[in-house]
Chains A and B, each alone.
Chain A
Amino acid sequence: MRIDLERALEEVAARGRAQARPVPTDGLLRRVHRRRATRTVTSSVAGVGAVGLLAVGGIGLLSPAPVAPPATQAPVAPSPEPSASEEPVASTEVLPGWEPGAAPCGVRFELEPVDSPGLELLGGVTVGALAEEDGLYRVGVGEELLHPAVTAYPETPGEPGGALASLHTYLVDEAGTIALWDPPTEELGSEATNGSGAFNIAGLRDAVDCRTGQPLLGTYRAFSVASPGTGLPDQDEPGIEIVELEPVTFGADAGPADPHRTVSALPRCGDDASSALEAVGDPDFRAELDVGLLVDPVSVAGVHLPVTLRRTDTLDGVPLTGYAPQSVRAILVDDEGRVRTTMEPAYRSAEPLHTAPGDAVQTSLYQWFTCLGGPEAAGLAPQPGEVMDLYVYDQVRATAVYGTRVTATVLGGPYPVTLTDW
C-alpha cells in the first residue's frame, strides 16, 4: 500500500486541529502588553513613596530598614536556564486605584531556610491562567495567575507531623522585598483526607505586585514558610520550616514549567515495570541510597531517605545545569513485575545544579506508597508484609551546556524491601 503524502499530512493537521484548545486570548493580550511595556516602562517616584509609607515594623520578618521600593531593574535571581528573549523590566508605577498591600507586602524578606524536625515542605509556584473553555487553571497558558502549590507533609511518611498552624509562600524581588504573599485571610488551607497529614494552600492568586498592582515581571525568589503559630513567622520560632523554592519567572517567554507534565511520562500504578525500566536504559543520574542495602524494612506509608545522584556519561557527557530537585521519587515493583505506586508531581529547589559526569548531587527520596488510578490500579495498593523491589525512579528538568532543555532520567536500585504497618 502506498501512502498519499499530501492527504496524510492533511489528516495529521486535522488531528492537530481537533485536539487544539481555544487560544487563550486574554493571556496572549497580557503577554503582548508586557512585551510592549518592556520598552516603555518608567519609574515612578510617587509610586515608590506610596508603598514606602506602608512600612510597619515590629515583626520578625521585617527589617528595621525602611520598606524597599519595587526594583526598578529586572530582578536578577540566578536563572540557569536560558531565556528565549531579554528579561523584561518590572514597572514600579502604582496603578490608579490600587491600594498597596499591608505588611509584610513591601517588607524585606530576611528569613533563612530552616529544616523542621517534624515537617517536610515540598512544592513550587506555578504560573498560568484560567482556560476559556472550562474555567480551569492551567499552567503555562498565561501569566494572570499563580498557584503556590506547596504542601506540608510529615517529615517521614506515616509518622505524626509537626504542629502546623500557617503556611505562606512569598515572592521576593531583586531587592529582597516581598512582592507577593498570601495573607491569612485569603488562605484556603486543606488537609488531606487519607490520614497522611498533608496540608496545603489551594488558592490561586493574581500575579500582580502587591505594592503596585502591576503584573509581576522578571524572576523572583520564592520562599515557603510553615509555622506552628498563626502570626507572621519568626526565624527562631520552634518547629518552623522555611524552604526556598525554585525561582519564578514571568514574561520573557519563560515558557511553561508544569510538574504534572513530567508525571504523565512516568510509570503509573498497575503499569508493567519492566518496560518502564528498560525504557530508561542507562540513566543520566544513577541514584544511590545513602543507607545502602539497609533500607529494609520500610513503612507501607512511604519513605524519606537521603540519596545521592551521580551523573553518568550519557548525553555525550555534557554538563547539565538547572536547579536540583527538592527530592526524587521511587516506585515499588512486585513479584509480578507490576508498578505498585503512584508518582506525584515533583518540584525543583533553589539549589543550582551543575553536574558533569561523575559529579554527585545530594538530595532525598520522598515517596508515599499510594496507588491511585483507573481500573488497572484497583486492589494494587501496597500492603503490610509484602516484599517488593524499590527503585529510585524520576526525571529531572535541566539544561545542557549548549542550551538544549533536557529531561534527565534518574534510576537506582533495586532495593528489596519488606513493607511494615503504617
Chain B
Amino acid sequence: MPGRWRQRADEAMVTLAREHGRSLTGYAYLLAGNTRDAEDLVQDALVKSYVRARSREITIDEGYVRRAILTLYIDGYRRRRRWESLRHLLARPERLDGPEGPTAQRVDVESALQSLPPRQRACVVLRFYDDLTIPEIAGRLGIADGSVKRYLSLGVHRMEALLGPVLTTATADVGGPVETHESVLLHGEESA
C-alpha cells in the first residue's frame, strides 16, 4: 500500500532526523564549511532520500543520507553556494560566533578545508573522516581511482601549504596509499 509505505517513510525520516540530525549536520559541515549551509544540505538530503518512498519500501540509514549529502554537494549545492564561500574575500564575514571560541588549529583546518575545490574537499573528507579506501571513494564519487589519488594528493598538498606538515593514521593497505605519501606521515619527519 503506497499510503502505508509513505507513512512509514515519514516516521522513519522523523526518527532519523531526530536521532542523527546533529551527526549529519557535522558531516555536512565538513563539506559546506558553515552551519547554515550544512543544515540546508542535511534537510535537502533528507527530502531527496525520503520523497522517493512513495511507491516502494526502502531502507534509509544515516549512511544513505550521508551519501545523499555528498551527492548534493558535488552535483550542485556547492556550485550554487560558491559565492558565499568567496564572500569573505569581498566583505566582512558573517558573525556566527559559537558559544565558545574555536581553537586556532581547528579554525586553520577549517579554513584550509574550505579552500579546497569541491572534489578535493570531498576526497579528503571521505578518506580521512569517513576512512574510505581509494576504490570506495572512486565508487562513491563515480570517478577513477587515479582521479581520487590525484585529488587527494592535490588536496593534502594544498592543506599542507596552509597548515604545515600533516599527520594521518591512514595506512597504505586500505586501497593504496595516497600518491606521494607512503607512510603514516604525509610530509616531514616523524613527530617528536
A positions within 8 Å CB-CB of B = 1-6, 8-25, 27-29, 31-32, 35-36, 39, 84, 140-141, 253, 255-256, 261, 264-267, 271, 275-276, 279-281, 395, 403-407, 409
Which residues from B are CB-within-8-Å of A4?
167-169
Which residues from B are CB-within-8-Å of A29?
10, 13-14
A20 touches B21 (CB 8 A): yes
- Chain B residue with Cβ nearest A264: B94
Identify 30 residue pairs between A and B in the complex whose beta-carbon atoms are under 8 Å apart, listed by A's number: A2-B185, A3-B105, A3-B109, A3-B164, A4-B169, A6-B129, A6-B131, A9-B124, A9-B129, A12-B30, A12-B113, A13-B27, A13-B29, A15-B106, A22-B18, A23-B18, A25-B13, A25-B17, A28-B14, A29-B14, A35-B47, A253-B44, A255-B40, A264-B96, A265-B91, A265-B94, A275-B92, A279-B90, A404-B80, A407-B83
Tell me the bound Cα distance from A12 to B23 in angstroms: 12
Tell me the bound Cα distance from A167 to B113 in angstroms: 48
Which residues from A are CB-within-8-Å of B82?
404-405
A279 touches B91 (CB 8 A): yes
**CB under 8 Å from chain A, chain B span 84-104:** 84, 87, 89-96, 98, 102-103
Distance (Å) between the CB of A260 and the closest chain B CB? 10
Known: A23-B17, A25-B14. A18 touches B166 (CB 8 A): no
Which residues from B are CB-within-8-Å of A16?
25-30, 35, 38
B13 touches A8 (CB 8 A): no
B4, CB-defined interface residue at 8 Å? no
Known: A3-B167, A14-B26, A404-B82. A20 touches B95 (CB 8 A): no
A24 touches B51 (CB 8 A): no
Partner of A265, one of B21, B93, B159, B165: B93
B42, CB-defined interface residue at 8 Å? yes
Partner of B35, one of A19, A32, A39, A141: A19
Distance (Å) between the CB of B98 and the closest chain A CB? 6
A23 touches B21 (CB 8 A): yes
Number of A-B contacts (CB under 8 A): 187
Q: Hey, what's the 0/1 contact readout for B164-181 against A, CB within 8 Å counting as 1?
A: 111111100000000000
Tell me the bound Cα distance from A256 to B87 in angstroms: 17
- Chain A residue with Cβ nearest B110: A12
Tell me the bound Cα distance from A421 to B86 in angstroms: 41
Distance (Å) between the CB of A257 and the closest chain B CB? 12
B63, CB-defined interface residue at 8 Å? no
Q: Hey, what's the 0/1 contact readout for B123-142 against A, CB within 8 Å counting as 1?
A: 01100110100000000000
B22, CB-defined interface residue at 8 Å? yes
B47 touches A28 (CB 8 A): yes
Known: A5-B159, A15-B102, A405-B80. A265 touches B92 (CB 8 A): yes
Distance (Å) between the CB of B181 and the closest chain A CB? 11
Distance (Å) between the CB of A226 and the closest chain B CB? 32
B46 touches A28 (CB 8 A): yes
Distance (Å) between the CB of A332 and the closest chain B CB? 17
Distance (Å) between the CB of A404 and the closest chain B CB? 5
Tell me which of A2, A29, A31, A141 has the highest count of chain B C-beta atoms within 10 A of its own C-beta.
Answer: A2
Tell me which of B13, B51, B84, B156 has the highest count of chain A C-beta atoms within 10 A of its own C-beta.
Answer: B51
Partner of A6, one of B50, B96, B128, B165: B128
Which residues from A are CB-within-8-Å of B21?
20, 22-23
Known: A17-B25, A29-B13. A409 touches B90 (CB 8 A): yes
